[in-house]
Structure 1
Amino acid sequence: MEALGLVYISAAIMIGLAALGTALGFGALGGKLLEGSARQPEQAPALQGKMFLMAGLLDAVPMIGVGIAMYLIFAVAPGLAG
């Protein structure tokens, strides 16, 4: 029964750390966009387009973490319980 609890705790930690990493990434990305736009205002539209591309790629990190956590909860944990 201890292993079952560890699976749930590890899934929760995985989701939490993925969300924390994504939040830090978005903060750094937005800060660099503002910094680059302040230095070269004529490049702001190009920088904004690249920022949205990177934001889309950065969004994949927590989705992958949630997918692996759901695998742990729904595929690994029932095998440990029975």
Structure 2
Amino acid sequence: SFVVDISEYVEGWVEVLKCHHSQFYNPETERYDFIDTLLAVARSRGFTMGMRYAQAFIATDPLKIDDPFMLVTQRFRSPQYPA
């Protein structure tokens, strides 16, 4: 599992989602707006990683890593849990 900083792409992502609003909107429910919910989740994931917005991914198969030390150099310590 990993997260990707999507901060610079959020505006475009939202515009694309709006083009498909009918896929997310159900007039029979009083739930929160789906796009607002996605943005809140992206903000929350971003906050834990020190980014404005982040998207989480789950690897269902093993990921090939050529240099495991690159993972260590890119590791981020959450502001909630400093070293």
Does TM-score exceed 0.5, indicating one fold?
no
TM-score, length of structure 2 as denominator length: 0.38
Q: TM-score, normalised by structure 1?
A: 0.39
> Bigger radius of gyration, 1 or 2?
1
Structure with higher helix content = 1
Looking at secondary structure, tell me which structure has more strand per residue: 2
